[in-house]
Structure 1
């Protein structure tokens, strides 16, 4: 049975806005899971981590982490200090996850989110750097009994892994059962030739699945072929979390990071729009 989740960026304008109240909010909206930010997680001391864990248990909500490395934390960078900063952040995340009872972190955590390189020739060396870094990082995740998932994201948001095939090659070289795969329909819509083939290829190693429309609205408000997508997920027996990631709020750090500079939709009935989308997703899974 798939747990249905939602990304915290659907509710906040800035990455460090208080996310604790969102645990109760997503429960009230009918979701099973909240995907919240690594920066917020790492801002908590042990008491705060226990508080997060306890509130999630009280609300019967699963927690998972979203993470995007910044250019000065790029584990594929040729600059050692940047690689070390990224490795340190991810290792700290693994320990904090264990303390908070969280099993998975997913995102662009193999290079810089929204990072650029000057030429295609740089990619090979950065790939090797990222693999070496991830091998080291994965051992900390193994020791803490938690998982790190490589999100396949479009070429405009990272330079290293844009297709499912690239992600599978990356996992093959890292060689850790605690490094999984994360597909996202918004990114697949840009980079893949099919929604079906990547899911068929990835399913045994896929630990997380993002659902978002071609326009980054919530499912049901765009032109994604949802029946095909959900039928394929059911065909491969995917039973792990499915999380929607609508970005429709302009303004603040979140709006800027996802290049949202216009009014996407009327937000006056936003929570009911989320409920309707959740009902749509559940109907697709039946």
Structure 2
């Protein structure tokens, strides 16, 4: 199993100096990769990749669409931003581009999404998926809670969007923080995702250290074992967070004491459960 962590465990600044600190501590903790958020188009991507390689780490990449390129309002802008993000992921050496690639976090809607809205989202992501295939990159759809988007909140909605996109390199990306809000349990939704599950954020109910909140972790890992999950296991917490994500996810107070303790205690907890589940 490959364990990784989101860059925001350590820093909100994706620049070589701060990534180097995160990479050093991640490597010392025994992690295999860092998840790099692609929220800005001026990131020093080649330098970040070099820093990660220096510490023996790989990369994955994630994002939410910026307001000026949100779907379904601005399909051409979203298409252009995602095209840039694919090239950025390729430069990082990331095999995936995942997250809320279908929407903008924290945009409170005035009404439920209409079928035609979801058709626009599916059309744009179908085009992006075909471009991603030429780069050998998979696309992940992450359902997130109702307070952050109205478009895709549950496993079943995520699977429906995958079917509407209809491309084989698109997978489901689950997050236990959001599942704790939107799903009735953990094991059954993971089993429904089945072979379409390609990525998972292991996040506590308060986004703090795994094992200290309300997520039913035994159930999570039982579900992963049942489906024979072999994808990345990513610890996501926000000790440091960019202004965009702080605003979108309403993170206004610390959720963990410090990254060192979060990683050492949280990773040990998750690895112990993974071994116990036979992963």
> Which position in structure 2 is the counterpart of 1:37?
37
- The ranges of structure 1 where at least 4 consecutive aligned residues each deviate by more than 6 angstroms after the TM superposition are none
> Which position in structure 2 is the counterpart of 1:70?
66
Mapped partners of 2:16, 2:69: distance in 1: 21
> Which position in structure 2 is the counterpart of 1:102?
94
Mapped partners of 1:57, 1:258: distance in 2: 31
Give the match's secondary structure for 1:26.
helix
**Contact persistence 2:96–2:140 (CA under 8 A):** yes
**Contact persistence 1:103–1:146 (CA under 8 A):** yes
Would the alpha carbon gap of residues 30 and 137 (structure 1) be closer, same or farther in structure 2, given more than 3 Å must change?
Answer: same
**Contact persistence 2:48–2:92 (CA under 8 A):** yes
TM-score by length of 2: 0.90
**Structure 1 position 207 matched with structure 2 position 198:** yes
> Which position in structure 2 is the counterpart of 1:133?
124
The alignment covers a number of residue pairs equal to: 274
- Worse-matched range after superposition: 213-222 or 163-172: 213-222
CA RMSD of aligned residues (A): 2.2
Mapped partners of 1:279, 1:231: distance in 2: 18
> Which position in structure 2 is the counterpart of 1:218?
209
Mapped partners of 1:12, 1:262: distance in 2: 15
Would the alpha carbon gap of residues 252 and 16 (structure 1) be closer, same or farther in structure 2, given more than 3 Å must change?
Answer: farther
C-alpha offsets along residues 222-272 of structure 1, whole Å, 9 cap, x if unaligned?
A: 1211111112211211011011111245895543332122344444xx403
**Structure 1 position 283 matched with structure 2 position 272:** yes
> Which position in structure 1 is the counterpart of 2:153?
162
**Structure 1 position 25 matched with structure 2 position 25:** yes
**Structure 1 position 56 matched with structure 2 position 52:** yes
Unaligned runs of 5+ in 2: none
Would the alpha carbon gap of residues 192 and 138 (structure 1) be closer, same or farther in structure 2, given more than 3 Å must change?
Answer: same
TM-score by length of 1: 0.88
- Offset at residue 70 of structure 1 (A): 2.1
> Which position in structure 1 is the counterpart of 2:263?
274
Unaligned runs of 5+ in 1: none
Would the alpha carbon gap of residues 23 and 123 (structure 1) be closer, same or farther in structure 2, given more than 3 Å must change?
Answer: farther
Would the alpha carbon gap of residues 24 and 251 (structure 1) be closer, same or farther in structure 2, given more than 3 Å must change?
Answer: closer
Would the alpha carbon gap of residues 250 and 59 (structure 1) be closer, same or farther in structure 2, given more than 3 Å must change?
Answer: closer
